[in-house]
Chains A and B, each alone.
Chain A
Amino acid sequence: MLRIIGGTVYDPANGINGEVKDLYVADGRFVSKTEEGQTIDATGMVIFPGGVDVHTHVAGGSINFARAMTPEDHRRTQAFIRTKTRRSGLGGMAPTTFATGYLYAGMGWTTVNEAAVPVLSARHTHEELRDIPILDKSSLVLMANNEIILDLLEDGEDERAKHILAWHIWAAKSYGVKAVNPGGVASWKWGKDAKHLSSKIEGYDHITPGVIINKLAKMVDSLGIPHPLHLHCNNLGAPGNVETTLETMRHLEGSRAHFAHLQYHAYGGDDWGTMKSEAAQLAEYFNAHPNMTTDAGAVLFGDTVTITADGPWQHLLYKLTGRKWGNLDVENETGCGIVPYTYRPSNLVNAVQWAVGLELLLLINDPWRVFLSTDHPNGACFWRYPEIIQLLMCADFRNDCMAKLPPEIKNRITLPEINREYTLYEIATITSAGPAKALGLPHKGNLGIGKDADFVIYHHDKDIARMFGHPRYVFKGGEIVIDDGEIREAPQGREYLIKPSYDPNTDDFLKPLFEDRYCMSFENYPVEMERIEHAQIQNCDATDATN
């Protein structure tokens, strides 16, 4: 039981924009009134719903590979020493599991979505998710380069493919479907890529990336999966790739879709020397098509490590930087590449990337459809979100930062012409209410009666980065987890799953294929329910999602 009185509340899900309002909590949820329990005086302070990250990489094979590949970062980074409430760990570019929970909660984020899980490493991912305290979690399974599904699409067996897709979601104990460089990662196994929607996919004659994207999006909609197809487009990171991105968006008209880290897909120009921002063109199209949501994938200058299932892109990045390169081949399912990277303001390409992330956030005018993300850890580490919030809220600060970029940047970006400043209400939308809605988690990012009591109390502060980096209190399920920078409690979070329906004969169909191709036995492949702590199965509503 808890009463929070006198705080200025920003709750976009209920249209509450900076009203002084008392909040009451009982049994982990908001209630209309309670007389009992602790009272917290939040007079003069700002109350937000707990942050929701729609796209991050915090658990599983790839981030763990990144941790192993960056021992140099572990020496210099923040160390968490074990205490009564806290386990040990390390922050930095790829924080360890426990530290991930502490760092996210420490800035007021309470729900995260791990955006890329191959079925083969789903068990490992869930083990790590379980070790991320405080946060509620969900994960998306990688499906756009799965050999069994691609074979079925090649043969025109779309209905069967849909059942297999649903089977895999449940096998991975996943929450939705992620598509990374559809067809491109499959081609990478022959040393090739698939950069355009009509590109040939090595080993196949009939399907193209465009076909895979279309069919997957339709399957996701017809299965009634709460979160739409989560798409990492083809041709990521390359100059001139805005054409591919626009073509993909046109392909998806009539379907729901979430475009991941759009910043990496919004470049013009012909090569690295002429690369420029096409965020304005992309935002214009996006604004006119309400079937899509996106997250920014913003870039901040500094050291990080890039990790993605997009193997061919990572090989190119390794060739460009000459730094370390890790490459994983996940049997018939996908791949993964790891390259440590430093974004520098003096590097024109990096400067353009920095601007594009902010331009997209500022030019897409509906905050319910564009969300804050850095594609952690690709564009920057998640614990740097407060810096982005400051860039969005203060045009002057943005201009000061732009003054430090090379002068050649002038004709390549539109950021200097944008005066928009985000309001607190809009920040609460892009960091919490919006992503919660896109994920189909209506009880998150919402301070209404009956919703989960995950919320944050901030001090008013002119220094926006400090304000959002150091909340006064963070509550998870009605419990104080962060009190003035100290971790008070580290409760276990939930894991959200879905169980879409599929043909009961799917096992019989898959088993012989599986035993023919995989390294493990069929019975050991699906993740057991016992592995998931505090699992919560969300409904799939096949009639609801096709609107």
Chain B
Amino acid sequence: MKPITLKLKREPTVTLEAEVICPDGFAEMSHEQIAASVVYHGKRQVRLDEFFDIEGERSEHLVLHGSLQRVRHLGRGMSCGSMTIHGDVGMHLGALMKGGQIEVFGNVSDWIGAEMSAGEIHVHGSAGQQVGAAYRGSLAGMRGGLIVIDGSAGIEVGMRMRKGTIIIGGPAKDFAGLQMKGGTIILRDGAEIRTGAWMHRGTIISLKPLALMPTFAESGQYNPTFVSVFSRLLRRHGFELPNDPAKGVYQRYAGDRSVPGKGEILIWKGHPEG
């Protein structure tokens, strides 16, 4: 299927609310219908083709080009197809998504994959705050699916997430896994302070040492079998989790006991060389 290509032709002066840019809708739309889709430039309703050069029609595969930092809600609630984005993207990318794939060659802003229930988001750059989080007031964040960030991430990664997996390649800021209810967060380059605060359940795996809160208790060292199984699934994203007993071990911490929670934080401790 030939993809629909959207090239940003002028940068919005204020945010452009563009939840219409979504494979579900475009799959059924003619070129003219796509061009006439309504987006909100601030509070003004404008046609999509005022901001984008559009090629193609009736496809659930979308390719976007341009500096989209002010374009919000791309792929909101999408359930199928794919979006490939070359450039930086604004807030709420893939929020509430139910399926399909998003790949970004650039950086993304806050709230990406917020409250998503299925599908995959892969960001080759860095992400802003609240990756896969719950919106303010909501009971649960991400409920399924996978988010991979190759670079760093801001605060509150996976806040209140219930299921699914988030992998952060670079360092994450404060409150990763805040009030987590389930699911898995993998921190390949560690995180700043208060990781796992208020977590009820779920797993945070860090490959770098973490400054943990005193409400997490040491609860043994081991090489969990599930890490090996999980690692095999992650291979297609280009990395693996270490779990060779000859090379190191995971230190397990249970918490957050102030809630009191039944979550776990696993921190990889490599044996000294030689």
Chain A contacts to B: CB under 8 angstroms? 69-73, 75, 323-324
| B-chain residues with CB within 8 Å of residue A323 when the two chains form the complex | 139
Cβ-based interface call for B136 (8 A): yes
Do A71 and B139 touch (CB < 8 A)? Answer: no
Closest to A322 in B: B139
| A-chain residues with CB within 8 Å of residue B139 when the two chains form the complex | 72, 323
State the 5 A-B residue pairs at the shortest beta-carbon distance, nearest first.
A72-B138, A72-B137, A71-B137, A71-B136, A72-B135
Q: How far is the CA of A259 from the CA of B135 in the complex (A)?
A: 39
Q: Which of A70, A71, A75, A324 gathers the greatest number of chain B CB atoms within 10 Å?
A: A75
Least Cβ–Cβ distance between A377 and chain B, in angstroms: 16
Q: How far is the CA of A73 from the CA of B136 in the complex (A)?
A: 10
Of A69, A71, A324, the residue contacting B135 (CB under 8 A) is: A71
| A-chain residues with CB within 8 Å of residue B136 when the two chains form the complex | 71-72
Closest to A342 in B: B139
Give residues 134-149 of B contacting A (CB, 8 Å): 134-139
Least Cβ–Cβ distance between A267 and chain B, in angstroms: 27
Q: How far is the CA of A73 from the CA of B134 in the complex (A)?
A: 12
Least Cβ–Cβ distance between B117 and chain A, in angstroms: 13
Q: How far is the CA of A409 from the CA of B3 in the complex (A)?
A: 54
Q: How far is the CA of A75 from the CA of B76 in the complex (A)?
A: 12
| A-chain residues with CB within 8 Å of residue B134 when the two chains form the complex | 72
Q: How far is the CA of A69 from the CA of B137 in the complex (A)?
A: 7
Closest to A323 in B: B139
Least Cβ–Cβ distance between A80 and chain B, in angstroms: 14
| B-chain residues with CB within 8 Å of residue A73 when the two chains form the complex | 137
Q: How far is the CA of A75 from the CA of B139 in the complex (A)?
A: 13
Give residues 114-135 of B contacting A (CB, 8 Å): 134-135
Q: Which of B135, B136, B137, B139 gathers the greatest number of chain A CB atoms within 10 Å?
A: B137
Least Cβ–Cβ distance between B181 and chain A, in angstroms: 12
Q: How far is the CA of A350 from the CA of B205 in the complex (A)?
A: 39
Q: How far is the CA of A71 from the CA of B139 in the complex (A)?
A: 11
Q: How far is the CA of A75 from the CA of B138 in the complex (A)?
A: 10
Q: How far is the CA of A323 from the CA of B134 in the complex (A)?
A: 15
Can you add 12 more A-B contacts, CB < 8 Å, to A71-B135, A75-B135? A69-B137, A70-B137, A71-B136, A71-B137, A72-B134, A72-B136, A72-B137, A72-B138, A72-B139, A73-B137, A323-B139, A324-B137
Least Cβ–Cβ distance between A365 and chain B, in angstroms: 42
| B-chain residues with CB within 8 Å of residue A72 when the two chains form the complex | 134-139
Closest to B43 in A: A82
Least Cβ–Cβ distance between B143 and chain A, in angstroms: 14
Closest to A81 in B: B45
Q: How far is the CA of A70 from the CA of B136 in the complex (A)?
A: 9
Closest to A324 in B: B137
Q: How far is the CA of A72 from the CA of B139 in the complex (A)?
A: 9
Q: How far is the CA of A72 from the CA of B135 in the complex (A)?
A: 6
Q: How far is the CA of A324 from the CA of B139 in the complex (A)?
A: 10
| A-chain residues with CB within 8 Å of residue B138 when the two chains form the complex | 72
| B-chain residues with CB within 8 Å of residue A324 when the two chains form the complex | 137
| A-chain residues with CB within 8 Å of residue B135 when the two chains form the complex | 71-72, 75
Q: How far is the CA of A70 from the CA of B138 in the complex (A)?
A: 8
| B-chain residues with CB within 8 Å of residue A75 when the two chains form the complex | 135
Q: How far is the CA of A75 from the CA of B72 in the complex (A)?
A: 14
Q: How far is the CA of A324 from the CA of B138 in the complex (A)?
A: 10
Q: How far is the CA of A257 from the CA of B138 in the complex (A)?
A: 40
Q: How far is the CA of A71 from the CA of B135 in the complex (A)?
A: 8
Q: How far is the CA of A226 from the CA of B137 in the complex (A)?
A: 42
Closest to B134 in A: A72
Closest to A75 in B: B135
Least Cβ–Cβ distance between B39 and chain A, in angstroms: 13
* CB<8 Å pairs between A and B, sample of 13: A69-B137, A70-B137, A71-B135, A71-B136, A71-B137, A72-B134, A72-B135, A72-B136, A72-B137, A72-B138, A72-B139, A323-B139, A324-B137
Q: How far is the CA of A323 from the CA of B138 in the complex (A)?
A: 10
Closest to A71 in B: B137
Q: How far is the CA of A75 from the CA of B134 in the complex (A)?
A: 12
Q: How far is the CA of A323 from the CA of B136 in the complex (A)?
A: 14
| A-chain residues with CB within 8 Å of residue B137 when the two chains form the complex | 69-73, 324
Least Cβ–Cβ distance between A285 and chain B, in angstroms: 40
Give residues 193-224 of B contacting A (CB, 8 Å): none
Q: How far is the CA of A71 from the CA of B137 in the complex (A)?
A: 6
Q: How far is the CA of A72 from the CA of B140 in the complex (A)?
A: 10
Least Cβ–Cβ distance between A121 and chain B, in angstroms: 23
Give residues 81-139 of B contacting A (CB, 8 Å): 134-139
Q: How far is the CA of A323 from the CA of B140 in the complex (A)?
A: 12
Least Cβ–Cβ distance between B268 and chain A, in angstroms: 34
Least Cβ–Cβ distance between B79 and chain A, in angstroms: 16
| B-chain residues with CB within 8 Å of residue A71 when the two chains form the complex | 135-137
Least Cβ–Cβ distance between B137 and chain A, in angstroms: 4
| B-chain residues with CB within 8 Å of residue A69 when the two chains form the complex | 137
Least Cβ–Cβ distance between B59 and chain A, in angstroms: 28
Least Cβ–Cβ distance between B139 and chain A, in angstroms: 7
Least Cβ–Cβ distance between A64 and chain B, in angstroms: 15
Q: How far is the CA of A71 from the CA of B115 in the complex (A)?
A: 14
Q: How far is the CA of A252 from the CA of B205 in the complex (A)?
A: 65
| B-chain residues with CB within 8 Å of residue A70 when the two chains form the complex | 137
Least Cβ–Cβ distance between B133 and chain A, in angstroms: 12
Least Cβ–Cβ distance between A72 and chain B, in angstroms: 4
Q: How far is the CA of A365 from the CA of B137 in the complex (A)?
A: 43
Closest to A70 in B: B137
Closest to A76 in B: B96
Q: How far is the CA of A71 from the CA of B138 in the complex (A)?
A: 8
Least Cβ–Cβ distance between B93 and chain A, in angstroms: 15
Closest to A73 in B: B137
Least Cβ–Cβ distance between A4 and chain B, in angstroms: 37
Q: How far is the CA of A72 from the CA of B137 in the complex (A)?
A: 5
Give residues 218-251 of B contacting A (CB, 8 Å): none
Least Cβ–Cβ distance between A511 and chain B, in angstroms: 43
Q: How far is the CA of A75 from the CA of B95 in the complex (A)?
A: 11
Least Cβ–Cβ distance between B38 and chain A, in angstroms: 10
Closest to B140 in A: A72
Least Cβ–Cβ distance between A439 and chain B, in angstroms: 35
Least Cβ–Cβ distance between A184 and chain B, in angstroms: 29
Q: How far is the CA of A69 from the CA of B136 in the complex (A)?
A: 10
Q: How far is the CA of A73 from the CA of B137 in the complex (A)?
A: 8
Q: How far is the CA of A49 from the CA of B186 in the complex (A)?
A: 62
Closest to B38 in A: A81
Closest to B95 in A: A75
Q: How far is the CA of A350 from the CA of B139 in the complex (A)?
A: 20
Closest to B138 in A: A72
Q: How far is the CA of A154 from the CA of B137 in the complex (A)?
A: 43
